[in-house]
């Protein structure tokens, strides 16, 4: 007799090729409407599923997990970050958590580099001038920005994405600096021509551009606090394609409004999908709707990782991308 397929509940619409493969392998419940699940729907999902496939918009906290049914043994997150999941609570309940690391590195690094290029050169303002019909011709002193060649880039979090950004920025003539929980091997530092700063405060005070690439954890919440933001040079730029909660968004908005920072490029926000109105109004900010990893190739690769994690787990083996509380 054929073994019963596990019930896999997917919380959001995934690429067709991924959903089709899931249907072939598992008993799969899909979200055809592609709307965020309500709290009640998440609770119902954990009560009935063998495997839950959530995304960054789904809060799988201790309250939701406390109502999980006996069959739920795996949460295969469709995403690299797992700050949407209470991993410790899941582990205590015997539920394995996996993620999809590595596949979004190049896509996110590309978007970060685009912001590093666009913000100092005032591209958002230039687009707005064209769209509103306010452009009246070229002038030698109008819409002046800053070159990035020769500028210092400070990277916060030198993991896969941080290193990919450093590689790109180096090619654009930037000087690479970084702050990380652990110093990189000298061979990597040499390759990236990167300078390590044990003190984040000291690095921030010296950089022309600061780019955030650390995860959101209790330890990194408001890592860039009002105090730290004020350490940055008035002429500096901040870029964030990681997690909005890492930055004190209200403090950032106040500083931009007061001209205490030159500008910012933000793809993530502290209270997504809500965006601080002061940021929306500011002509010093380029805002994007959390699309740093939004490529077709990246989303398909994420889905394939989810499938591999589920299949490996269901075959009785340790999934390749298991996340443990000690890793956070």
Q: Which of 122, 179, 228, 243 is catalytic?
A: 243
Angle between helices 105-118 and 160-171 (to 10 degrees): 40
Q: Which of 19, 41, 272, 304 is catalytic?
A: 272
> Is residue 3 flagged as an active site residue?
no
In order of 31, 116, 270, the CA distances from 153 in angstroms are: 41, 9, 23
Q: Which of 44, 290, 304, 322 is catalytic?
A: 290
Among 146, 56, 150, 155, smallest CA distance to 113 is for 155
> Is residue 272 flagged as an active site residue?
yes
In order of 73, 192, 246, the CA distances from 9 in angstroms are: 12, 42, 30
- Where in the sequence numbering do the catalytic residues fall? 243, 272, 290
């Amino acid at each position: 007799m054929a073994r019963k397929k596990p019930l896999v509940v997917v919380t959001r619409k995934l690429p067709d090729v991924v959903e089709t493969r899931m249907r072939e392998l598992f008993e799969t419940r899909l979200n055809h409407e592609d709307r965020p699940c309500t709290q009640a729907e998440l609770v119902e999902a954990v009560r009935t599923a063998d495997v839950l496939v959530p995304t960054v918009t789904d809060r799988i906290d201790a309250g939701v997990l406390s109502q999980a049914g006996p069959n739920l043994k795996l949460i295969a997150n469709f995403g690299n970050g797992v700050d949407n999941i209470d991993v410790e609570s899941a582990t205590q309940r015997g539920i394995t958590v996996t993620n999809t690391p590595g596949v979004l590195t190049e896509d996110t690094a590309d978007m970060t580099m685009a912001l590093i290029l666009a913000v100092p050169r005032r591209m958002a303002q230039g687009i707005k001038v064209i769209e509103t019909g306010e452009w009246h011709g070229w002038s030698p002193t109008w819409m002046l920005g800053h070159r990035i060649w020769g500028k210092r880039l400070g990277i916060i979090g030198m993991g896969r994405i941080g290193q990919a950004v450093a590689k790109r920025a180096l090619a654009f003539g930037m000087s690479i600096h970084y702050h990380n929980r652990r110093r990189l091997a000298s061979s990597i530092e040499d390759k990236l021509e990167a300078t390590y700063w044990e003190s984040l405060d000291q690095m921030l005070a010296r950089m022309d551009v600061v780019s955030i690439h650390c995860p959101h954890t209790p330890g990194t919440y408001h890592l860039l606090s009002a105090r730290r933001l004020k350490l940055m040079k008035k002429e500096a730029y901040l870029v964030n394609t990681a997690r909005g909660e890492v930055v004190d968004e209200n403090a950032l908005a106040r500083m931009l409004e007061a001209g205490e920072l030159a500008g910012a490029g933000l793809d993530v926000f502290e209270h997504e999908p809500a965006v601080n109105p002061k940021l929306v109004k500011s002509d010093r900010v380029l805002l994007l709707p959390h699309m740093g990893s939004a490529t077709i190739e990246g989303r398909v690769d994420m889905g394939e990782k989810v499938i591999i994690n589920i299949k490996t787990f269901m075959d009785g083996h340790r999934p390749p991308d298991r996340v443990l509380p000690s890793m956070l």
